[in-house]
Amino acid sequence: MADSMMSKAATMEIPINSNGDSRNLAEDDSLEQAAKIQWSLREKDLQQVMVSGPNLNETSIVSGGYGGTTEGIIPTSSIKGSNMHHGSSNSSMTAEEATRGVAVEKFDIVKKWGLNTYKCTKQMISERFGRGSRTVDLELEAQIEVLRETKRKYESVLHLARALTNHFYSMVQTQHALGDTFADLSQKSPELRDEFGYNAETQKLLCKNGETLLGAINFFVSSINTLVNKTMEDTLMTIKMYENARLEFDAYRADLEELNMGPRDAVTMARIEAAQQQYQIHKDKYERLRSDVSIKLKFLEENKVKVMHKQLLLFHNAISAYFAGNQQQLEQTLKQFNIKLKPPGADKPSWLEEQ
C-alpha cells in the first residue's frame, strides 16, 4: 500500500496557472498526505535499520542519490581501512627503504667483486703472455718451492708407510691364525705334539712382537699425516692467500700506472686518486701476507725437523728390535716414545657405535 501511494505521489502532475496558484486544492491535500506517509515509512525503515540492520562495516555510501547507480558507491570499510592502515603505511615504507638499502649494498659488493675479478684476470693473462710485469720475491719464492717439493716427498713416505702397515697387519693376522692351527694340531696329534707346540709358541711370540711393531708404525704414520695434511697444508693455504694478494696488488699497480700515463684532466685526476687508494690498500695486504708466509715457513721448518727427528728414531729402533728378535728393546722403544698399545679387540667398534 505504501508503495502504491509513493508511486502515485511520484506520478502526480501539479498544473500551475499564470499567477502561480494551484488549479485543484484537493490534489494538493492528497499530495501533502502522501508525502507525510512516505516520510513516516522512511523513518520506520531507518529505525529498523538502526536496530537490526547490517553492520556499518558492510554498508556503502551512495554518492548518486536515492536509487542511483552503483558507480558512485564508496564502501565504508575502505574509509575505515584507510584510517587503520595509515599508521602501518609508515612502517611498510620503512621496511621498503631497509630492503632497498640491503639491495643497494649487495649490488655494490657484487660490483666491486666483478671489477676486482676483471682486473685480476686481465693481469693474469698479461703475465702468462709476457706482456705484464709481476712482483717477485726471489728468496720467498724459493722457500715456497722447497716446501711444495718437500710435501710431495713426505706424501710419498706417508703412502709407503701406510702400505707397509697394511701388509704387516695381514702378516700378523696370518701368524696368529697359524699359531692357533699349530696349537690345535698339537692337541690332536700325539706323535707330533712337541713339534706343533714349539711352532705354535713361536708364531704367538712373533704375533705379539708384530702387534707391538704395528703400534710403533701406526704412531709414525699418524705423526707424518699430521705434519703433511695439517701443518704443511695450513702453511700452503697462507701461501695461496699471499699469491692472490700479490696478483691483486700487481693488477691495481698496473691500473694506476696506466692512468698516470694518460691525460690529467679533472675526471682523470679523480680516477687516479681513487686508484692510488686502492693500490695502497692492496699493497698493505700483500706486505702483511708476505710477512705471515715468512714467519710460517720458519716455524714450519723448525717443527718439521723436531717431529721427523723423533719419528725417524722411533721407526729405526722399532724395526731393528723386531727383526733382531729383541722383545725387550722393542717394548722399551715404545715406552721411550710414550706409545700405549690398545688392548686386543679395542679397534673393533662396539655394537652401539655400529648402529
**Residue 180, CA distances (Å) to 34, 127, 295 in order:** 127, 68, 56
Distance separating alpha carbons of residues 203 and 209, to the nearest angstrom = 10
Is pLDDT larger for residue 193 or for residue 345?
Answer: 193
Is pLDDT larger for residue 104 or for residue 184?
Answer: 184
183, 196 Cβ separation under 8 angstroms = yes
Is pLDDT larger for residue 342 or for residue 313?
Answer: 313
Q: How confident is the model at residue 290 (pLDDT cuts 50, 70, 90)?
A: very high
C-alpha grid cell, residue 53: 540492520
Is pLDDT larger for residue 278 or for residue 120?
Answer: 278
Q: What is the DSSP letter of 345?
A: T
pLDDT score at 261: 85
Distance separating alpha carbons of residues 80 and 68, to the nearest angstrom = 23
**Residue 266, CA distances (Å) to 171, 260, 263, 270, 272 in order:** 81, 13, 9, 6, 10
Return the H-helix or E-strand segment holding 41: helix 25-52
What residues does 340 pair with on adjacent strands? none
CATH superfamily of 112-337: Arfaptin homology (AH) domain/BAR domain (1.20.1270.60)
For the chain, what are the domain ranges? 112-337
Coil/strand/helix, residue 296? helix
Average pLDDT, the chain: 76
pLDDT score at 266: 83
- Does residue 173 surpass a pLDDT of 90? yes
Q: What is the DSSP letter of 20?
A: S
- Does residue 319 surpass a pLDDT of 90? yes
Residue in 297, 194, 193 with CA at minimum distance from that of residue 236:
297
Q: What is the DSSP letter of 131?
A: -
- Does residue 293 surpass a pLDDT of 80? yes
Q: What would the DSSP string read from start to end of 247-293?
A: HHHHHHHHHHHHHHTS---HHHHHHHHHHHHHHHHHHHHHHHHHHHH
Q: What is the DSSP letter of 22?
A: B
- Does residue 76 surpass a pLDDT of 70? no
pLDDT score at 27: 44
C-alpha grid cell, residue 158: 706417508
Q: How confident is the model at residue 342 (pLDDT cuts 50, 70, 90)?
A: low
Distance separating alpha carbons of residues 233 and 240, to the nearest angstrom = 10
- Does residue 23 surpass a pLDDT of 70? no
Q: How confident is the model at residue 69 (pLDDT cuts 50, 70, 90)?
A: very low
- Does residue 273 surpass a pLDDT of 50? yes
Return the H-helix or E-strand segment holding 73: strand 73-75
C-alpha grid cell, residue 119: 682486473
123-128 — which CB contacts under 8 Å span 24+ positions?
123/247, 123/250, 123/251, 123/254, 124/247, 126/254, 127/250
- Model-level pTM greater than 0.75? no
Is pLDDT larger for residue 14 or for residue 47?
Answer: 47
